Structure 1
């Protein structure tokens, strides 16, 4: 790839970014007609209590604007400001704020009836919060807070900020300083060439700002306003758009192919999309962690309620790259957002759905299997290229041979392509051997052979027949292909094979058989872990069993040789064939399986040696160590190994317990081990 965004060196410090708290003038009261807005104070209070309680304190907090909900012309503005200052009092590190449109008035739009930015509103903001644009330094890095409402405003302060910002970057360049920039309005949400709308900056200010963002010393840019998660790059600068702690901009619920849940106020109250960010800064590079606040709230005078998940993961720092997911659904899909009224009345606007990416990042999942259409089509290929620099790598699956367009028009390394999976019948594989060997040599990618089932007599009983496609070697047929695969690997035709493991099969036993095949043949294994049940028309919605499965799979991925594990479904299938639960639901919110993946990635992916304890132990479904730390996996209920015990290395007593389904600590009292199902049995 052209360049690498994974951090290097030691971690220096961290900071927190919060956006769009929309503090009201009173508790549980809002000028908005939505009940969700009335809870903004309690939700912001909880977030700042969480920040104050962080074991490793950040150096500072930055708020991206829309601090309060009442606009400056309302008599309730000052009262909302006082509430905000009370809410942030528990935080003992500096809280830096910048203005949003609710704080100083909207950008200049002739079709918007809301009051717009003006000198008097700016004066009121400065009297309440201080400077509206400024910079500071932390350990030699420069942090620049921009008043994006001034851009294109025509006010005298627009020119003053413009000259100041250009000078800031000149000074940073002269000092070889890394720069982090912060603003309320993003310059764009989908394309740098998109037309102006409520959610972006208009020209000519947009082009000017993008030119500054693209300067090489600018490492990252953070924006709010849109109340949704997006990620992009401007030059080499990483561009993050953050969710709100208060509510979702629910016009973007057009992303989801299902209606909002009852009680979610037509999408505005989709709690799992509320949140903030924690940024770890390294000697080189940074990592931006998404933290879902899930609408947690705290009343005045109350202590911090539930904490966020105990563990965090991210592809930039994940050391375990041998387990991932298959992205069957579109994962970088562009959608035309309907003009439903409100702030979007004229025409439609394009937006890309980055919620699959947010979930992948929270899981720390670096490995993904994608269909070859993602490599061939421009938009998804460009996303692959951007994500490769973050640490993602892709296995591209195709029916038959890789298409010429995927080989001739694409820099596979820059797109993060580590392998092709070729789905072929045994006869076609034999015929394609020479061409497969040539692809390996010329393009430097691995080839996995997934054998297609051409006949399924087990499904024929004189009444029924099978139309179900089955790809990948069955475990029971591996021994019969030892000679063929050994020779294919020796001849440089393939690197390995795909083996399917059904949800009803014992994963530990499957790993033993795949490991033995790898040892005998030299073939690497791409284990395709199925989440569907045996019935094409029967839903498999057992989240507890999925947690048990992924817990074992991740430990095995960290301890086996020559095997990569890919779950065949990332997002639920809730229509069509083989309906099933997976890592995220159809609103792109994480299921328990995703939270278990995150927790175990944080534990297993740090680069320390992982070992599975030998022999059987009636107490544990699985026992393993990470470095000197000891762990035991148990079942909280039949068929679900959901609890991870942290053990004292000398006494083997439990010191703490994690519920993998939630990622949260639980009491170890009263936990009973019960036998696991064949999915994860010994």
Structure 2
């Protein structure tokens, strides 16, 4: 299976076997200053922009295999052309980007040629003099080039609505380049996004105003256009325009921190501007049909001008289109498609609130390569949420729709378009019997599997002898299944259900329970939805062990390869930090990935070539065999794992899923020896 070494990602599609024709990188909003450690901005975060850009370009230069070229979406430098420091900043940028051994193609941003033409704009606006200064520094401000059957068109978005002579010239030229592309695919790149949330949104500092917006969106909707990349907003968003994927990229330098309004907790560094977990760039793999855009988070890493080039740390990237793990996911309990009004805090947003959608949960799923989520039926009934379901479904994502009593009516066509692969009904046995005909009809009309999640009206675990925990409990438990098999078989025979939901508590041995459920599912020829609980038994006590959660993520992923009849769904995607059963999960309340998400991504990038695996329990974990290859997943204190590692052949590769290293057996033993004996290790070994 063809795999890139940096960043580590699958290049060969596990479903189709397709390999990329080439790859390229997209960088946005580096905001390089005239010298390291200084900035015309009063914000402390901006002083670090040069060191962060330097790290990014060194990271790109270490890519293996290297990209064909790099696109920059503008705001190349921070000082605007009217400042005497502009020329110095240009020279700084060229020095910082000099490690690149591939072509660098840039598009102008508002810091490079002046802001868009609008009477309330707080900075100098685009004009012929600034355009001349830019062209002298960087070359043409709109142009195109062809590469392996694909046309790339750089658009100067600041010319749109400018009234300058070059606006009309660019307009005619862009239309000509798209129309004359022939059979070539077209990729557009620019600084200003035409819109952020909706094509008809009102004008703001973030978007292009009318009438130019409509013209540009019409170009994006041309059938030849496959993708559009825009910067300026310093945050991630994704949409579809016609048949084109429309990406808005984060910055490498700072966050547009008015949008930290999305958070339900306080913002990070410098009131959110320094939320470095969201800084990054894109790597795009172009295939004979379509492309895959990988989001690469830089975490704000820096490199000084006197520093030696850093050794690339192992970093993994995945994508739903490149994953074969379609049976491990999470329940999206929190809103994940939420639109809200962003407060006008001043600065560039003074005149009224603006609407924006929070795409960070969407991004986290995308980066993990997640292909399965459980969502409430409310999401299918809500047009906004359903539209986002449909977008992810195009990439291979699938949904379990969970309901109380009976599912909503949905046709087979609607279910397929939204990626609904299964329905979960939470009910008592009595309610199931009452709705028997309706449930059979739902199965038939939707074409989706239907899982019965038994509601426990009373359970002895509610009372610990001192406290009564008042909570709803749904899902069969393993120990009761022998007594329930008769009724389950009857419901299967009556075509009321396809399978059942089994809950596994966070304190249960997942390896042993998972292997038992695989055996049961194969014996009954019945699919099982495994609901993995992330909370402890006490509703008032937090469960916040990232390493234990990450280990269970890894175990579920390997278990999912043991039988196609099991799906594993963790009971929350985001941390629950208030209310009942507080616990940590894949992402925190700022939507940043936790270790569990990183482990999911790493295993996706490492093991998606596996189809089915014969599994057995082993000391401290799971052992899998497939086609002469052995895969083991081990979780225990470091000291306990050393004897098992020594039994591996010297050629074995050892992946430290918590520490991030990949090494030979002997090197891995050396790395482990540097850790305290009781420190936890989560290792994947392959030989």
TM > 0.5: yes
TM-superposed deviation, 1:588: 0.3
CA distance in 2 between partners of 1:533 and 1:285 (Å):
44
The worse-fitting range, judged by mean Cα deviation, of 266-275 and 543-552 is 543-552
Kept in 1: contact 2:511–2:622 (CA 8 A): no
CA distance in 2 between partners of 1:461 and 1:226 (Å):
52
What aligned pairs does 1:63-212 form with structure 2 within 5 A after superposition?
Answer: 63-172=72-181, 175-212=182-219
Kept in 2: contact 1:368–1:395 (CA 8 A): yes
CA distance in 2 between partners of 1:282 and 1:7 (Å):
11
Structure 1 pair 23–374 and aligned structure 2 pair: CA distance change class (3 A): same
Kept in 2: contact 1:537–1:578 (CA 8 A): yes
- Pairing partner for 1:287 from 278, 286, 292: 292
Give the equivalent residue in structure 2 for 1:51: 60
CA distance in 1 between partners of 2:639 and 2:424 (Å):
33
Kept in 2: contact 1:604–1:610 (CA 8 A): no
**3-state SS of 1:107 partner:** coil
Kept in 1: contact 2:462–2:471 (CA 8 A): no
Give the equivalent residue in structure 1 for 2:9: none
With normalisation by structure 1, the TM-score equals 0.93
Does residue 318 of the first structure (1) align with residue 349 of the second (2)?
A: no
What aligned pairs does 1:6-45 form with structure 2 within 5 A after superposition?
Answer: 9-45=18-54
What aligned pairs does 1:458-537 form with structure 2 within 5 A after superposition?
Answer: 458-460=461-463, 464-537=467-540
Q: Which consecutive unaligned segments of at least 5 residues does structure 2 have?
A: 1-14
What aligned pairs does 1:326-337 form with structure 2 within 5 A after superposition?
Answer: 326-337=331-342
**3-state SS of 2:75 partner:** coil
Give the equivalent residue in structure 2 for 1:428: 431
CA distance in 2 between partners of 1:626 and 1:246 (Å):
45
TM-superposed deviation, 1:165: 0.3
Give the equivalent residue in structure 2 for 1:232: 239
The worse-fitting range, judged by mean Cα deviation, of 301-310 and 593-602 is 301-310
With normalisation by structure 2, the TM-score equals 0.92
Kept in 2: contact 1:7–1:283 (CA 8 A): no
CA distance in 1 between partners of 2:169 and 2:369 (Å):
42
TM-superposed deviation, 1:310: 2.8
TM-superposed deviation, 1:604: 1.8
**3-state SS of 1:603 partner:** helix
Kept in 2: contact 1:272–1:293 (CA 8 A): yes
- Pairing partner for 1:439 from 439, 442, 450: 442
Give the equivalent residue in structure 2 for 1:401: 406
What aligned pairs does 1:370-381 form with structure 2 within 5 A after superposition?
Answer: 370-381=375-386
Give the equivalent residue in structure 2 for 1:652: 649
TM-superposed deviation, 1:517: 2.3
**3-state SS of 1:244 partner:** coil
CA distance in 2 between partners of 1:393 and 1:309 (Å):
29
Does residue 571 of the first structure (1) align with residue 571 of the second (2)?
A: no
- Pairing partner for 2:279 from 260, 274, 286: 274
CA distance in 2 between partners of 1:320 and 1:122 (Å):
49
TM-superposed deviation, 1:473: 0.5
CA distance in 1 between partners of 2:415 and 2:290 (Å):
24
TM-superposed deviation, 1:410: 7.8
Give the equivalent residue in structure 2 for 1:243: 250
The worse-fitting range, judged by mean Cα deviation, of 36-45 and 449-458 is 449-458
Structure 1 pair 594–489 and aligned structure 2 pair: CA distance change class (3 A): same
Kept in 2: contact 1:474–1:501 (CA 8 A): yes
- Pairing partner for 1:388 from 381, 393, 397: 393
What aligned pairs does 1:353-364 form with structure 2 within 5 A after superposition?
Answer: 353-364=358-369
Q: What is the aligned length?
A: 661
Does residue 257 of the first structure (1) align with residue 264 of the second (2)?
A: yes
TM-superposed deviation, 1:402: 1.3
**3-state SS of 1:142 partner:** strand
Structure 1 pair 607–138 and aligned structure 2 pair: CA distance change class (3 A): farther
Q: Deviations over 1:165-211 (max 9, x none)?
A: 00011101xx2111111000000000101000000000000000101
